Amino acid sequence: LDLDTAKQELEEFIPHVRNISDSSIRKMAGRDLMRFKQFKKQGIAVKFGRFSQKENNQIRKNVEEFLTITGIDSAEKLLFTSRYPEDKETINRLKAEHLFCEKLSEGIPRPWRLIYYRARKMFDPNNYKGRYTKEEKEKLKKYHAMHGNDWKKISEMMSRSNLSVAMKYSEIKSAINYGPWSKEETQKLMHAVEEVIRKRMEMEDGNSLSSSEKSNRDLSIDREKLYQKLPWTEIEAKVGTRYWRQCKQKWTTILTNKMTKGQQLYRGTKGLQAKINLIKRLYEMKVEDANDINWEELSNTIGDVPRAYVQAKFYKLKVSCVPFWQKKSFSEIIDYLFKKKLPELEENL
């Protein structure tokens, strides 16, 4: 396939394909296009976003089967071959002979690269090492001073995953405030969010509107752009005194207050009604996995609120009302809330 044809054919499955580099498109044409067409024949759409429990289980199954077929003795050797230089040649030969790419992505309607990254995250023993000690934090600062943002190198030196060291450094690199936000911090956050949204909209306009359309167009902001896929590490850097997760939580609070005009939706009688509506709607959806929920639609069940607000309320409901929720599937949690908690809430109302 030539590059233009590949772009055209992939665009049906990946609308943003023209923003992807040419080398990545060539790889996707080889690894993904035929798979995507097969899934289409089965009526299955290509997925993005968080992996479901079912997909995680399929990855585990694919990896375990590949290890059995090849005799490679661990998932770490398979997915982090560079850590085993003495076995590297043999492992790479076995991967090629037994079609590793095809086997890993079997039954999962997603781009191969995303499946591979997910598998590496799941099977990296360096991801499960618990809290950082004071000594580790000092080492991390020292290694960053020496190697900059070379997270691969730093992760090898610390025996932690790339993602883990990058996120931890983001958290400890500067003095972080805790507790209530000052007025100045809140203003900085609001300006930072406004700046990234405006920049993004101007880029989108540049791609889709003529100059005359742009000059006549007011910069109105679609509600979803106010909270979906914002670059929180960039916003964190602009705020300067708060960790990205704090920025995200604070922004959700600000938005919720603005969208509800400061009303307390989750207190008193309104709160009971909101919980009742939420449980009923989740039960009606008959969804097997939390990742398949349309949180945007669900947020209208409680009121005009951001999706993160509803997700947080559902989490609180699950943790406080469902015994041993960690051991239950998503549908079992919803069944429990519907059959046990809902009658109690309706009685209190």
Task: Note the pLDDT tens digit of each residue in 135-167.
Answer: 999 999 999 999 999 998 999 899 888 888 988
Q: Which residues, other chains included, contact 168 with Cβ-Cβ below 8 Å and sequence gap of 6+?
A: 132, 137, 140, 160
Is the pTM above the cut of 0.75?
no
129 in a domain, yes or no? no
Q: What domain count does the chain have?
A: 4
The CA-atom distances, in angstroms, between 303 and each of 37, 236, 298 are: 40, 29, 9
Is 128 inside any structural domain? no
- 13 with 118, same domain: the answer is yes
Question: Would you give the DSSP letter of residue 255?
Answer: H
* Domain co-membership, 149 together with 114: no
Asked if 158 and 142 count as a contact pair (C-beta separation under 8 A), the reply is no
Is there a domain that residue 79 lies in?
yes
Would residue 32 count as lying in a domain?
yes
| 227-273 per-position pLDDT tens digit | 667 888 889 889 988 888 899 889 888 887 777 665 555 567 877 88
pLDDT at 240: 87
How many percent of the chain have pLDDT more than 90?
Answer: 38
216 is a domain residue: no
Same-domain status, 7 and 106: yes
Residue 163 sits in a domain of what CATH number?
1.10.10
The Cβ of residue 47 has, within 10 Å, a number of other Cβ atoms equal to 17
Q: In degrees, to the nearest 5, what angle opens at C-alpha 56 toward C-alphas 54 and 61?
A: 95
pLDDT value, residue 343? 92
pLDDT over 70 percentage in the chain = 89
Q: Do residues 312 and 230 both lie within one domain?
A: no
Q: Which domain holds residue 191?
A: 183-206+221-260
Q: What number of other Cβ atoms are within 10 A of residue 172's Cβ?
A: 15
CB-based contact 175:241 (threshold 8 Å): yes
- d(C-alpha 113, C-alpha 27), whole Å: 9
Radius of gyration of the CA atoms of the chain, in A:
24
At 295, the pLDDT band (50, 70, 90 cuts) reads confident
> Does residue 14 sit in the same domain as residue 119?
yes
Which stretch, 85-99, 171-185, 216-230, 278-292, has highest mean pLDDT? 85-99
Tell me, yes or no, whether 212 lies in a domain.
no
Task: Over range 63-88, report the average pLDDT.
Answer: 94
